[in-house]
Amino acid sequence: MTAPRDLAVYIHWPFCLSKCPYCDFNSHVAETVDHSHWRDALLAELSHYAAQLPNRNIVSIFFGGGTPSLMAPATSAALIDAVAGHWSLADHVEITLEANPTSVEAGRFRDFRAAGINRLSIGVQALDDAALGFLGRGHDRTQAIEAVRLAGSIFPRTSFDLIYARPEQTVEAWTKELSEALAMGPEHLSLYQLTIERGTPFYAAHRRGDFQIPAEDLGGALYEVTQELCEKRGLPAYEISNHARPGSECRHNLVYWTGGDYVGIGPGAHGRLSMAEAIFATEQIPGPAGWLDAVAAKGHGTRKFEALDAATRVEEILMMGLRLRDGLTRDAFQLAAAHEFEDVLEPRRLRRLIDANYLEIDARGLRATGDGLIRLNAVLAALLA
C-alpha cells in the first residue's frame, strides 16, 4: 500500500445567534436546532466521503461556520472520534473550532477542549465597544478580552480575528487597537480589512451613503502599519491577512493555500480531492433544510462533484499560493498542479511583473514581493490574463 496522502477535514456549522450585518458566510439564525439530528447527519456525510477516500492521513480538522461554538460539544467529540475511526490521525493533528466570545460560549470552552479541540479561533473583531455595536456583534470588549484570556488557559493554541479599515478609523486609532491586541500575547492573529459584501445589510447601507469605508490610500496605510507593528512584535504576516509567531501558523489554512486535499462536510462546505482519475471540486447544498433532507434521502448533500481541468487547477493554485508570504515552492506547485511554473506561465507577462518588482521567481519557487501582495488581485489578473 502506498503511504497515506494527507487530508484536512472541514466541518461547517451553519447557525449563529444573530446575523452580523457585514457577513456573507453561509450562516443562518434558527429558532431551534435539533442537535442529535445534526450530529447524525454530519456523521453520515463524513462516512459517505470516507468510503471514497481510503488510506488518508488527517493533518487537520476545522469546525467553521456560522458559529460552531454553538454546536453541542458532544457533537464535535463524536465527529472527531469518527474522523479517527475512518482514517489515521497525524501525530500533531490540528483540531480548530471557531468561537464567538459571548459569555455563554466561553462557559463551554472546557467541554470543547475535553472533546478534543486543541486550537480555538475567536471572533473578537474589535476592541472598541462602539465598533462592536456598529458591527452588530453580540459581545462587548470586556467579554472579548476575557474570552481570549480564558481560551489561552484552556487550549494549547489560540488565535483571534479583528476587522479593521472600519468607517472613520484612523491610522492612529488602529495602531492603538492593534497594539492592545498584540499586548494580549497572541501566537496567531487574523486581521481582515472590512469588505462590503453584496446582499448584506452593510451593502445597502453603504450604497445609501450611511457610512464610508477608508479610501484606497488610507486602506494601504492601515495595511502597512499592520505589517510593521505585527512584524515588530514577532508576528509577521505569513499570508495577506494572517500573522503568526514562526511555527504557530494555521496548518488547516496552509492546506488550502498550498493546494492540499480537504474534504468539506456540512451545508455549503467545499472540498478539493485528488483521486486516481482527477482532482475533484466538491460543494455541498448550502441551505440547512435542503442539506438535511438530502442527507436523509441519500446519505450526503453533495451538489457538485466535478473534475477540475488543468488550466482551472493551475489558476486556483496560483491564486491561493501567492497569498502566502513565502509563495509557492516548486515542489508544492508540482504536487498540486502537476506542472512546472515555466510550463504554464506566459514568459513575457511573468517578466513584466518581475521587472515591476511585484513577483520573484528562483530555485525555491514563485512569490509576490511586499508591493505585489498589497495589489495581489491586480498582479494575478495581469499574470493570468
Residues that bind ligand SAM (CB under 6 A): 16, 22-23, 25, 64-65, 67, 98, 100, 123, 125, 161, 163, 192, 194-195, 197
How many Cα atoms are found within 13 Å in the side-chain-facing hemisphere of 135? 25
Measured from the CB atom, is 67 or 253 closer to ligand SF4?
67
Measured from the CB atom, is 131 or 337 closer to ligand SAM?
131
Q: To the nearest whole angstrom, how small is the minimum distance from the Cβ of residue 125 to ligand SAM?
A: 6
Measured from the CB atom, is 35 or 351 closer to ligand SF4?
35
Amino acid at 254: L
Measured from the CB atom, is 22 or 87 closer to ligand SF4?
22
Q: Which of ligand SF4, ligand SAM, none does residue 19 bind (CB under 5 to 8 Å by kind)? A: ligand SF4
Q: To the nearest whole angstrom, how small is the minimum distance from the Cβ of residue 12 to ligand SF4?
A: 10
Q: Which of ligand SAM, ligand SF4, none does residue 372 bind (CB under 5 to 8 Å by kind)? A: none
Give the residues lining the site for ligand SF4 (CB under 6 A). Answer: 16, 19-20, 23, 25, 27, 65-67, 100, 123
- What is the rounded (10 degree) CA torsion for 264, 193, 223, 312? 40
Nine-digit cell at 89?
A: 490521525
Q: What residues have CB less than 8 Å from 121, skipping those under 6 apart?
A: 96, 97, 98, 99, 158, 159, 160, 161, 190, 250
Q: To the nearest whole angstrom, how small is the minimum distance from the Cβ of residue 12 to ligand SAM?
A: 9
Q: Which long-range contacts (CB under 8 A, 24 or more apart) does 198-205 make?
A: 198/24, 199/24, 200/21, 200/22, 200/23, 200/24, 201/21, 202/21, 202/22, 205/21
Q: To the nearest whole angstrom, how small is the minimum distance from the Cβ of residue 15 to ligand SAM?
A: 10
Question: In whole angstroms, what is the distance from residue 21 CA to residue 204 CA?
Answer: 10
Q: Which residue is nearest to ligand SAM (CB)?
A: 123
Q: Which of ligand SF4, ligand SAM, none does residue 192 bind (CB under 5 to 8 Å by kind)? A: ligand SAM
Measured from the CB atom, is 20 or 269 closer to ligand SF4?
20
Q: Which of ligand SF4, ligand SAM, none does residue 116 bind (CB under 5 to 8 Å by kind)? A: none
Question: In whole angstroms, what is the distance from residue 321 CA to residue 259 CA?
Answer: 7
Measured from the CB atom, is 64 or 372 closer to ligand SAM?
64
Instruction: Give the three-state DSSP class for 144.
Output: helix
Q: What b-and-e string marks burial along 257-282, b requiring 16 or more CB atoms within 10 Å of the CB? A: bbbbbbbbbbbbbebbbbeeeebbbb
Are the CB atoms for 283 and 261 separated by under 8 Å? no
Are the CB atoms for 161 and 139 separated by under 8 Å? no
Q: What is the CA radius of gyration of the chain?
A: 21
Q: To the nearest whole angstrom, how small is the minimum distance from the Cβ of residue 275 to ligand SAM?
A: 28
Q: Which of ligand SF4, ligand SAM, none does residue 195 bind (CB under 5 to 8 Å by kind)? A: ligand SAM
Q: To the nearest whole angstrom, how small is the minimum distance from the Cβ of residue 361 to ligand SAM?
A: 31
Measured from the CB atom, is 15 or 174 closer to ligand SF4?
15
